[in-house]
Structure 1
Amino acid sequence: MDTADAALLGQALVSPTDALRREAPVSPQEAERLRSLPPTEYWAAIAGELDWDTRWTQVLDGSLGDFRYFVGARGNVSVNCLDRHAEAAPDKVALHYEREDGLSETWTYRRLTIETARFAAALQDMGVGKGDRVALLLSNIPEAFIAIHACYRIGAIYSVIFAGFSASAVRDRLEDAQPKVVVVADGLLRRGKVVPLKDTLDEARRGIDSIKHVVVATRLGLEVQWQPDERRFDDVMTRTRRLAEPVMLDANDPGFIIYTSGTTSKPKGLVHSGLGFLVGTYANVKWSLNLRRDDVYWCTADVGWLTFPIFALVGGLAHGATHVIYEGSIDTPTPSRPYELIEKYSVNKVFTAPTALRMLRRAGQDALAGHDLSKVELIALVGEPLDPETWHWTSETFGAFVNNTYGQTETGTAWASSMVGLTSTKPGSCGEPLPGYRAEVVDEEGRPVPAGQLGYLTLTEPFPCLARTVWNDPQRYFETYFGEFPGRYASADAAMFDEDGQLWVTGRVDDVMNVSGHRIGTMELEAALITHPAVSEAAVVAQPDDLRGAVPVAFVVPRAGAGGGADLGSELAEAIVTGVGKYARPAAVYVVPTLPRTRSGKIMRRLLRDLLQHGEVRGDLSSLENPDALDVVQQHIRAG
């Protein structure tokens, strides 16, 4: 790989503000000591800050690919996130919920804990026990907090399915997880439009015999088709008088399955341990946000993506702060809405994505007029590369420290970050590895590369919140993450460390893209195209986008006699929307007679990326079988 862009290397270190320094959870000397500790000693110290029913007899057993953390320990995630705060400050606000149309609710820690225990009892009455799966098709509503922590409370394994998925994508995940219960909202609001989630589930669940009960949160009062095994969430709660006691679980018991796109069409069901995830996210939030009990904090992510469980549902609640949760698009009904919410609730810390900030920046300064943002101390980010220009705009607009972070669904945390109030950052960088993590950038042979040189980002030691397997496919877990560089976790991201130890992640080295913070596998998009009767072959690649970070672009070879043109392109774009979801709509679909291939017949997607981004091929052509295909594809791109 090439040396990183000189513009990145030239960025200056930015120190934390004086206010954040004063509020730092430890001294700079203690922070440095923690960073130097062996990971096992560090994680044992962090875990000691949480509540356990039984302590561990051994910190770590095993190595990357097959390990257990906190051997012999037992506890409960829900107790650490809800019960202990409800006991200490029962009337403290846990959630300020707000919806696009202005509906708002306030939930105290006492109320949230009681309703969680009640729904946990209801799940038990439906026959759900330890190890049974519960699927959730929900938006950012209080019922999501209740249902997820009810699963944690009784040891059920939950799986949150992104509410923007099509019925086909939802079905893929239901078929794999085989849930006993599904919790769904009747619908959600998105940019002023109603999205009927229950209708999506009705189509997706047909023929899946594992589903015995469906619980519907009738948030919008929509007309839905009721089946004999379906009940209203409110009715379930009214009829359940019992409150479930927390079940003490082994530290390595699975807590949830989260599906992430990979380089094949079948999504991977990553399995995270419940208590391991708690320890990792608690530490992540401690350092990346320094979240305190008196903070009012807004995580703008969607519950269907792991950012929300890390920084709100688990890691956030573990610190006992007040959370703002928002259902809908944050720039609806006007671009001023985020500023209105920050002012209304006196938000002082925000966790969001670079796409959201680019969207606010594009809306202009008029949206800011008349809004008091003076309480904002920190804007933290994750999900995609952050350009320095957006970093500077955010810092100047909010007058806050901007902490860009890096992590993956697989790692269960944003493990690279500034330690807020303690360490510096650079505009656009991802900070440094947090305590407890050991990272190296290596070349193709797995050898560490010097500072300033791009390579493959790897992690060299286990940590509690690393995904433990792929549901129903352990071999895929080993092959995907540990096959390329034995003894290392391979992130499949290209990155480099600079001379100051700052991490710069420049993009994927496989065929997965981040679109507005959503990780999409190109193979999943291509599978949606191939199902169309007019398509013979398809290739999807990422094209950089100023607002969304990246957008998918499709190249399609039609079947003989199928024709082409704009009408087919539009039809194929809809095929992706139907197969995956609206958020994956391609920016363009090029219907071409041929595609560049290797001698073995594989489509050379990196050459398509070159043509899109640079107008020419810059990579190695030694394995290209049909050079004439490049001219053909380029003509179609130029023709638009």
Structure 2
Amino acid sequence: MSLELYGSDQVIWRPNQNQIDEANLTAFTNRYGVSDYQALIKKAAEDQDWFYNAINETFHFQWDRPFDRISESSNGAPFTEWFKGGYINIYKNCVEKHLTKCNTKNAIVWEGEDGSKQGLTYQELDEHVSRFALGLQRLGVGYGDRIGIFLPPIIESAIALYACAKLGAIAVPMFSGYGADAVTTRLNDSECKVLITADGSIRKGKVSPMKEIADRAVDLSPSVEHVVVVNHTHTNFTKRRLDRHYENVLASKGATLITHETKASDPYLIIYTSGTTGKPKGTVHTHSSFIIKTAIDMYFCFDVKEDAKLFWMTDIGWIMGPWLLIGANLFHCTAVLYEGDVNYPQNGRILQLIEDHRLTHIGMAPTVVRTLRKTHSDQTLPSYDTSSLKIIGSTGEAIDQASWTWLIEQVGESRCPIINYSGGTEAGGGIIGCYPTMPLKASSFHGPLPGIDPEVVDQDQQPVRNKTGELIVQQPFVGMTKSFWQDDDRYLNTYWNKWPGVWVHGDLVSIDDLGYWYIKGRADDTIKVAGKRIGPTEIEEVLTNHDRAKEAAVIGIPDDIKGQSIIGFVTLENEGEQLDKGLIRNELVNTVAEKLGKPLKPTFIFFVKDFPRTQSRKIVRRVIKNVFLNEQIGDISTIANPNILVEFTSDKLLDKGVT
């Protein structure tokens, strides 16, 4: 692959020749006579039949019945049916097909904060899944039933996901840190028949009573007939009428159950994601689309091979949880689950995982990277052996250059590439990403995933370069949600109705003159000052470069003259110290004016203690803006710290003064 395709300007990392020669991307392009990455992206977009047939041949998917055609769009592009006529089951492809191979290899390993470990080989996993699936069947669970999974990232979460696949049921995973209202919303929207939960989960040495939360949710969820409880933390709880102990649900050892033959278009996962308005949206992923999309992304971007050991700092309730488990097992790899905090009980706990498990791949959100970087601000890390590491993944939000550079130098030791990966729950994985065969610039993406046809456009739907535009996908793609659960109209309004036949993703993106892509923020967070559009992350990155600034969030508020003016919120390092906040505020405003231009400098900057965040630690600018402007807040069920909202009322902030 030619490195000249990506110029040398500001390149920080380059692959060596062995990394290029041994990469899956190189093997695929050589096998199918495609000259390079750009040619592959172009051919895959122009001839989807060729591409997906080649993918099917590469991965040797086990089809119970072969598909008649790759796609059928007779009901319109938003409702494209993939692999029409085919029957495929995720469980058969991730577990059953490997049972004739080495039975001593771990399929899944779990580790807790205190170093406790548990692992299951592929054979043991199959036995547990069969026993649990048969037990669920005896509780009345069958094809098409929805099963809520409210569990921490433990072995039983994988067993539950696979038991649903084996039965042809639909898994509804939920974040283990949710409160009762968030769980209730998801149970009722999907009309779950069974909820699988645990007595508790552990983080920073403390037990979170998940069963109490589940009880409150089930009391308001009439569709739930049984609650299966995993005794994970050995915490006492009140046994209620619907409760069934996990161990008592398991069928006897040696029990077997034939895996259901599922259509390619049968739903397998409903994973909820919140928008700017309304209740959470239930994205629907099918047996064929989710496994094939996961296979593509892991193969090309993350260069996963059979000897890999993969870990992602995530939860079973986020898309990356099922993605990790199903992807790793599809490749006959080991998926590593960790329950706890990245810096507990000692700093660098996540690095200890690399050494102990000889991890080849790790992934995390930029918020986790920033947490690690701030913890190790002296640029030193605990001395762990990370020589096994080959790939570092980053997803969930835009990563600032300082954190990206720190990550590749300190954790990747300047030899492991950072694979930036962006798409979302509704995309079933990535839309744009990086590849380990091409040079990297800080915070950048190389471009589209194979099979995806994205573009960056202005408000007239014209392609733009070297300026921020809106990310669209120009034709349907494998991985995209089948719809929202029982809400086609909202699905169309969210992604398809802005421009006919085009998926509008909601991200702001720019492409530089060398072809590198950059995420600039969300379109619904866009700020427009005197006709100048800017994503909030561009301003936030300038603010956080100040040595006293820890994190920042920026919103646009109505301005009679300029259309919008910019308001910044900043948390400070060493908040307890005597700081000249007036001086810091002036430095921040002047720096933005210097870096981005005077029209884009903040009108006000307020210092706050923390931000409203989702359970995955993302800052929710929408809520900040609504509270500040005294507008309707909307859905806040996914916010981890709702008590902080009162701090963002304009009256309270103005009482603090701005000078």
Deviations 1:291-321 (A, max 9, x none): 11112221111111101222x1212221111
Work out the CA distance in 2 between the residues paired with 1:35 and 1:204. Answer: 45
| Closer, same or farther: CA 289–590 of 1 in aligned 2, 3 Å | closer
**Residues 1:35 and 2:41 aligned together:** yes
Work out the CA distance in 1 between the residues paired with 2:25 and 2:447. Answer: 17
Deviations 1:120-164 (A, max 9, x none): 111211111111100010110010100001111111011111111
| Closer, same or farther: CA 378–545 of 1 in aligned 2, 3 Å | farther
Work out the CA distance in 2 between the residues paired with 1:551 and 1:217. Answer: 32
**1:394 shift after superposition:** 1.5
Give 3-state SS (helix, strand or coil) of 1:470's partner: coil
Work out the CA distance in 2 between the residues paired with 1:543 and 1:287. Answer: 39
Work out the CA distance in 2 between the residues paired with 1:149 and 1:514. Answer: 40
**Residues 1:339 and 2:351 aligned together:** yes
TM-score normalised by length of structure 1: 0.80
Give 3-state SS (helix, strand or coil) of 1:415's partner: strand
**Residues 1:472 and 2:486 aligned together:** yes
Task: Confirm or deny: 8 A CA contact 1:73 1:251 kept in the other structure.
Answer: yes
Give 3-state SS (helix, strand or coil) of 2:233's partner: coil
| Closer, same or farther: CA 418–554 of 1 in aligned 2, 3 Å | closer
Amino acid at match of 2:228: V
Work out the CA distance in 2 between the residues paired with 1:153 and 1:348. Answer: 29
Work out the CA distance in 1 between the residues paired with 2:471 and 2:628. Answer: 34
Give 3-state SS (helix, strand or coil) of 1:405's partner: strand
Deviations 1:29-69 (A, max 9, x none): 54535323223321222133222111111111115312111
- Cα RMSD (Å) of the superposition? 3.0
Q: 2:503 aligns with which of 457, 468, 489?
A: 489
Give 3-state SS (helix, strand or coil) of 2:214's partner: helix
Deviations 1:582-610 (A, max 9, x none): 356647723346xxxxxxxxxxxxxxxxx
What is the aligned length?
Answer: 552
Matches within 5 A, 1:321-336: 321-336=333-348
Deviations 1:241-295 (A, max 9, x none): 5322111111111111111101213111111112211000011111121111112
Q: 1:407 aligns with which of 409, 414, 423?
A: 423
Work out the CA distance in 1 between the residues paired with 2:160 and 2:568. Answer: 35
**Residues 1:152 and 2:165 aligned together:** yes
Equivalent residue number for residue 616 of structure 1: none
Equivalent residue number for residue 59 of structure 1: 70
| Closer, same or farther: CA 584–250 of 1 in aligned 2, 3 Å | farther
Work out the CA distance in 1 between the residues paired with 2:318 and 2:353. Answer: 22
Equivalent residue number for residue 123 of structure 2: 110
Q: 2:449 aligns with which of 434, 438, 443?
A: 434
Task: Confirm or deny: 8 A CA contact 2:132 2:251 kept in the other structure.
Answer: no
Task: Confirm or deny: 8 A CA contact 1:295 1:349 kept in the other structure.
Answer: yes
Give 3-state SS (helix, strand or coil) of 2:507's partner: strand
Task: Confirm or deny: 8 A CA contact 2:127 2:254 kept in the other structure.
Answer: no
| Closer, same or farther: CA 502–64 of 1 in aligned 2, 3 Å | farther
**Residues 1:132 and 2:190 aligned together:** no
Task: Confirm or deny: 8 A CA contact 1:75 1:248 kept in the other structure.
Answer: yes
Matches within 5 A, 1:563-574: none
Amino acid at match of 1:233: Y
Work out the CA distance in 1 between the residues paired with 2:619 and 2:656. Answer: 17
Q: Choose 16-25 or 195-204, whichever is displaced more.
A: 16-25
Q: Choose 159-168 or 389-398, whichever is displaced more.
A: 389-398
Task: Confirm or deny: 8 A CA contact 1:555 1:591 kept in the other structure.
Answer: no
Equivalent residue number for residue 654 of structure 2: 635
| Closer, same or farther: CA 479–557 of 1 in aligned 2, 3 Å | closer
Equivalent residue number for residue 432 of structure 2: 416
Matches within 5 A, 1:518-533: none
Work out the CA distance in 2 between the residues paired with 1:90 and 1:142. Answer: 18
| Closer, same or farther: CA 114–542 of 1 in aligned 2, 3 Å | farther
**Residues 1:45 and 2:51 aligned together:** no
Query: More relative contact order in 1 or in 2 (CA 8 Å, sep 6+)?
Result: 1
**1:542 shift after superposition:** 9.2
Work out the CA distance in 1 between the residues paired with 2:198 and 2:186. Answer: 17
**1:187 shift after superposition:** 0.4
Task: Confirm or deny: 8 A CA contact 2:278 2:635 kept in the other structure.
Answer: no
| Closer, same or farther: CA 465–543 of 1 in aligned 2, 3 Å | farther
Task: Confirm or deny: 8 A CA contact 1:183 1:216 kept in the other structure.
Answer: yes
Work out the CA distance in 2 between the residues paired with 1:318 and 1:9. Answer: 36
Give 3-state SS (helix, strand or coil) of 2:161's partner: helix
Equivalent residue number for residue 622 of structure 1: none
**1:476 shift after superposition:** 0.4
Equivalent residue number for residue 356 of structure 1: 368
Equivalent residue number for residue 172 of structure 1: 185
Equivalent residue number for residue 188 of structure 1: 201
Deviations 1:189-237 (A, max 9, x none): 0112111111001011114221111110010111111122211111211
Q: 1:316 aligns with which of 328, 336, 341?
A: 328
| Closer, same or farther: CA 88–234 of 1 in aligned 2, 3 Å | same
**1:424 shift after superposition:** 3.3
Give 3-state SS (helix, strand or coil) of 2:425's partner: coil
**Residues 1:508 and 2:522 aligned together:** yes
**1:343 shift after superposition:** 0.8
| Closer, same or farther: CA 544–278 of 1 in aligned 2, 3 Å | farther
**Residues 1:372 and 2:381 aligned together:** no
The unaligned stretches of length 5 or more in structure 1 are 1-7, 516-540, 560-571, 594-632
Amino acid at match of 1:23: E
Amino acid at match of 1:356: V
Task: Confirm or deny: 8 A CA contact 1:167 1:201 kept in the other structure.
Answer: yes
Work out the CA distance in 2 between the residues paired with 1:414 and 1:26. Answer: 16
Matches within 5 A, 1:200-599: 200-237=213-250, 239=252, 242-310=255-323, 312-364=324-376, 368-397=381-410, 398-399=412-413, 400-420=416-436, 422-449=437-464, 451-510=465-524, 550=619, 552=621, 553=624, 556=627, 579-582=637-640, 586=644, 589-592=647-650
Work out the CA distance in 2 between the residues paired with 1:289 and 1:149. Answer: 23
Equivalent residue number for residue 12 of structure 1: 11
TM-score normalised by length of structure 2: 0.78
| Closer, same or farther: CA 305–549 of 1 in aligned 2, 3 Å | closer
Work out the CA distance in 2 between the residues paired with 1:325 and 1:542. Answer: 37
Work out the CA distance in 1 between the residues paired with 2:657 and 2:144. Answer: 54
Give 3-state SS (helix, strand or coil) of 2:439's partner: coil
Deviations 1:526-568 (A, max 9, x none): xxxxxxxxxxxxxxx9957799663553664899xxxxxxxxx
Work out the CA distance in 1 between the residues paired with 2:25 and 2:178. Answer: 42
Give 3-state SS (helix, strand or coil) of 2:647's partner: strand
The unaligned stretches of length 5 or more in structure 2 are 1-6, 527-534, 538-566, 573-609, 611-616
Identity rate of aligned residues, in percent? 30
